[in-house]
Amino acid sequence: MSKYKIEEVAKQCGLTKRTLRYYEEIGLLFPAERSEGGYRLYTDKHIERLKQIMSARDVLGFSLQEIQEFISISEQFDHQRQIIRDIVDKQARLEKLSEVEETLLKQLSLIDQKLEKMNAIRRDIYQLFDQVVTAKQKLQTDRE
Amino acid sequence: MSKYKIEEVAKQCGLTKRTLRYYEEIGLLFPAERSEGGYRLYTDKHIERLKQIMSARDVLGFSLQEIQEFISISEQFDHQRQIIRDIVDKQARLEKLSEVEETLLKQLSLIDQKLEKMNAIRRDIYQLFDQVVTAKQKLQTDRE
DNA sequence: CGAAACGTTAACGTTAACGTAAATGTTGGT
DNA sequence: ACCAACATTTACGTTAACGTTAACGTTTCG
């Protein structure tokens, strides 16, 4: 797997080097391996994670703290998969799965609420747009 | 039209009094009329505007500055309607309308981009959710 | 092997979006 | 007329999310 130095990653993601270090500092981005001389060596996993972060930040308008919680769930999922595999008792396994399911359902409903509100805003703007187009057409037919 | 004192408005909108004054201070919320003794007297227009602001802030994740620009367009529209009515020259009227149309189109595409990204996030989460549900079903059928 | 380009930590600076406190004035009911 | 509840301005405080600078080590390339 290829490794990238900090500037490369920053450019690819449209972030600054400071931001990458900051995200690591607050525990939002898991630390990268270091080179002999102490340089950070990022992997594709880091880039993938950064895209998730930016997506949540820009699209959902989440604070970095909220992103922590939000992302930690999909991360926990990978983690939980190991745990779940290790659970021998079927009843306990079911409960663990149900727990994860519930969390995901909450996130889905949260996103659905946002989607609905965004669509409402879109409708409002479209209505304005429609009025303008109609007004233009009227002007142009009047002209003939 | 009824007038409201600041606390009433704050409660209705789920904001603090400080926030209302702050929004006025930075020019985001147009100033309210004052009572004899200097109390702010808000109208339904203010409440309507505040809902727009909160919507843009919470749903679109906009900064207050971005909201300024964003909202000023629908406000300009009302304003422009007067201007447009006053324009006698049909050619100039058409141009003004086209100008507004273009701005609205930009906003629509901006929102559409956000909607698309949000749907992508939703799909990701749903996929996880689906995996969990499948795992649960498998566990339960195995049981019989 | 030497310099330019890139990296590191540490620490202080900045901006947005309010919170909070103090000192003071206003309203509404009894 | 008075008091409790609400309002005002002014000004300093706070937090998140970085920006910036300094002092210094590392890589790379001719």
- Domains in chain A: boundaries: 1-62, 87-144
Gap between the Cα atoms of A78 and A48, Å rounded: 15
What chain A residue is nearest to B131 in terms of C-alpha separation?
A: A101
Task: Enter the tokens of residue A69.
Answer: 């919680």
A127 close to B85: Cβ distance less than 8 angstroms: no
In this predicted structure, the answer to whether residue B95 has a pLDDT above a threshold of 60 is yes
Residue A132: CB atoms within 10 Å? 23
If you search the block for the tokens 């996993």, which residue do you land on?
A45
What does the CA dihedral B85, B45, B20, A126 come to, rounded to 10 degrees? Answer: -60
Say yes or no: B136 contacts chain A, CB-CB below 8 A: yes
Confidence of residue B37 (pLDDT cuts 50, 70, 90): very high
CB < 8 Å to A94, chain B: 136, 139-140
A58 close to B62: Cβ distance less than 8 angstroms: no
Give residue-wise pLDDT tens across range A63-112.
999 999 888 777 777 777 777 777 778 888 888 889 889 989 988 998 99
Q: Which 8-state DSSP code applies to residue B28?
A: S
Give residue-wise pLDDT tens across range A101-118.
998 998 899 899 999 999
CATH of domain B1-62: 1.10.1660.10
Q: Is the CB of B40 under 7 A from strand D?
A: yes
Sequence-distant (≥ 6) Cβ neighbours of residue A36 within 8 angstroms? none
pLDDT number for residue B143: 55
In this predicted structure, the answer to whether residue A143 has a pLDDT above a threshold of 70 is no
Q: In the 53-92 stretch of chain B, whose C-beta falls under 7 Å of nucleic acid strand C?
A: 57, 63-65
Give residue-wise pLDDT tens across range A37-71.
999 999 999 999 999 999 999 888 899 999 998 88
A98 close to A78: Cβ distance less than 8 angstroms: no
Q: Do B111 and A118 touch (CB under 8 A)?
A: yes
Chain C footprint bases within 7 A of protein beta carbons: 6-9, 16-20, 25-27
pLDDT number for residue A6: 98
Sign of CA pseudo-dihedral B63, A14, A68, A106: positive
CA B47, B48, B49 angle in degrees (round to 5)?
A: 90
Contacts 24+ apart (CB under 8 A), B33-41: B33/B3, B39/B5, B39/B6, B40/B5, B40/B6, B41/B3, B41/B4, B41/B5
Residue A103: CB atoms within 10 Å? 17
**What is the phi/psi pair of residue B9, to 5°?**
-65, -45
